Structure 1
Amino acid sequence: MRPKTIDEIAGQEDVIGPHTALYKMIKNGHVPSMLLYGEPGVGKTSLAHAIAGTVNLPFIPLNATVAGKKDIEEVVAESRMTGKVILFLDEIHRFNKLQQDALLPHVENGSIILIGATTENPFHDVNPAIRSRCGEIKQLKRLSQQDVHKLLKRAIEDEQRGLGKQKIMITEEQTNKIAGGANGDARKALTLLESIVYASDEEDGATIVDDSVIDNLVDRIGVYGDKKGSHFYNLLSALQKSVRGSDVDAALYYMAHLLEVGDLTAVSRRLLVMAYEDIGLANPAVGGHVLQAVQAADRLGLPEARIPLASAVVEMCLSPKSNSAYKALDNAISTIRSGKTGDIPSHLRDAHYAGAKSLGHEGYLYPHDQPLGTFGGWVDQQYLPDHIKHTTFYKPVNAGEEKRMGAIYEKLKTMKKK
């Protein structure tokens, strides 16, 4: 069911729609070397086949995980005979240096048009030498339910490449259910359709699709991602940004997907970081709550681990938020790294040894000896080195518990100035 030309491609309007520069280039017979990046089933291989079919050039598919130098040499030989070929290289992020050395000169001179496909972020995982020779880097997105529905209808009706020779009794509602269950993955949608058809009963020469068969096969089909790939880290990022944005439903959605992938350790670690990075001083108790939740999750294991983790995620979403503490520390680190350092004031240096006074390590005033209302003890003395003594790193956020702490901070600053 792969599209034969770019006009048959469903979805990906931003990449290959009639209004795009790439579409117009291909229609005019010019194919640039390119990288196609996206999740499985979004159409990377199909797009490469469709491009080759549109311009009618020889098409050679290889997989970088198994291809060797000999395979590349054969592609080079083919290009010398035909003048120009399209090399589709799947899993291009696994391309090794030996393969590159054999191929890249021919990509540069245009005899080989390289179309690379990867599920990993090309700016992280694809060799810069390859990236620099690919004029186009296109990110393909999951197909919409409407696009997947269109593909399924085409497969049901197509007598040559699809299931059109069979009489299949399937409703629009059932087709939509399959399209929705595929979660934007065209390959999964077509595989699921085929499985459903062959798992259905026949009656009077017709295949009758039953809802129970669809429900049984759709289960978990939307789950995608491994524990080391770009998509997994994108899920972690989306979870944190949803919590930071106080969107409970989105945060629970990404949490659900991460737990389905199954890396409980990475999820727990990220939640604990978020408690201090994004909630911070606005609600200091959250750090302890999240620690208790991840410890409980570790002891329980999946699937029960989802219960304490869900509580932690909802609490963080709905908590006041502040990143002021770690930002203040980052400001201090930046100051040190820029060379703005100085001698520790003499009265702050260690004086727990004989001879400290002879070195001038004296004059420290003990704050506990000078009570300040209900605050405890405080004394006005210099703590930073001389040439940065007026520097401030911390900027309190007026949220939650930090509102109270920020007021104390500002009051102490005022008293210092006096």
Structure 2
Amino acid sequence: MSRKVYVIGVGMTKFEKPGRREGWDYPQMAKESGTNALRDAGIPYDLVEQAYVGYVYGESTSGQRAVYELGLTGIPVVNVNNNCSTGSTALYLAAQAIRGGLAGCTLALGFEKMQPGSLGSTYDDREQPLANHLQALAEISEVLFPPAPWMFGAAGREHMQRYGTTAEHFAKIGYKNHKHSVHNPYSQFREEYSLDDILGSRMIYDPLTKLQCSPTSDGSGAAILASEDFVAEHGLAGQAVEIVGQAMTTDFASTFDGTAKNIIGYDMNVRAARAVYDQSGLGPEDFQVIELHDCFSANELLLYEALGLCAEGEAAKLVDDEQTTYGGKWVVNPSGGLISKGHPLGATGLAQCAELTWQLRGTADRRQVDGVSAALQHNIGLGGAAVVTAYQRAER
């Protein structure tokens, strides 16, 4: 029998430009985020029964080295790597252990210590995980390196050609997310830019300018999950947030159907979202706040359609009508999103979880969305994995 899963504590570090904080290596990042999560939960580390630790760039057993900063209790520690969805994959596994009755309290933690500049491969003497995706895209689009802006930019161009979306629509998403991050003390960037600033910044891959692209970042996030019995035993119902739906998908045959949007995971996103809606009994209209994977503004726009916020081809209208910011139907990425908050790959999914937990508790300070009863999270890694999670306050 599937058991209920609750988030009882969250914590994160400020996301920083790589190397900005001297002496801040991944063990220090993990200690900071993990300690914050344990303090938020109000429990000691020795009550945690399993830990799932995510990172993309690091040596084997870096997960153990990271959580050993919190304690040496001999628990199973599982190292997780799933590209940009690593943090939410750790969350998925930690929740699965609770859901399956294998543990009463688990830790999901993610971190990243990154190199400045565009993402590159670590090993050049073997097949690259995205080789098939890049080959498929090369058959329908001009080739550009580094690959990430090319892949998401090509999907943006495809949307423009099919539906008349303009460069300004993508820029408005960058404008929105930078504006949101002004009130986030954990955000790497807290500057507000004008729409002209967004459009006029350096072109990375037309239509994507620099201020519509997520930066490389250092940082960490963590979440403590617990069963219903654990919550009751420790009197944590007042702070608990329930995971009411969660799904992970990987690539389908449709990924390689000759469309740029599916190469960057559109169909994975659609199917993961539908599974979560079926599990939770909630639909897109039931959520007030959403944290989604805006690695590039083009991806956020495509996700409006993949998550069912609007019909296919209608995302630009949501942007024009300001339906995804304060005063609209949803507030998407109140944290500033990856574009402005930053994107330390292993930490991103757990930072999203933290933001939504704060929103559901009503403790998000100046970022707080009015009347939050349900929240939706989306995180994706190419090559590929998409993770979608739905949350509600425990008392509901």
Task: Report the TM-score, using the length of structure 2 for normalisation.
Answer: 0.25
Q: Which has the higher helix share?
A: 1
Larger Rg: 1
The one of the two structures with greater contact order (alpha-carbon pairs below 8 A, sep at least 6) is 2
| Structure with the bigger percentage of strand | 2
Q: TM-score, normalised by structure 1?
A: 0.24
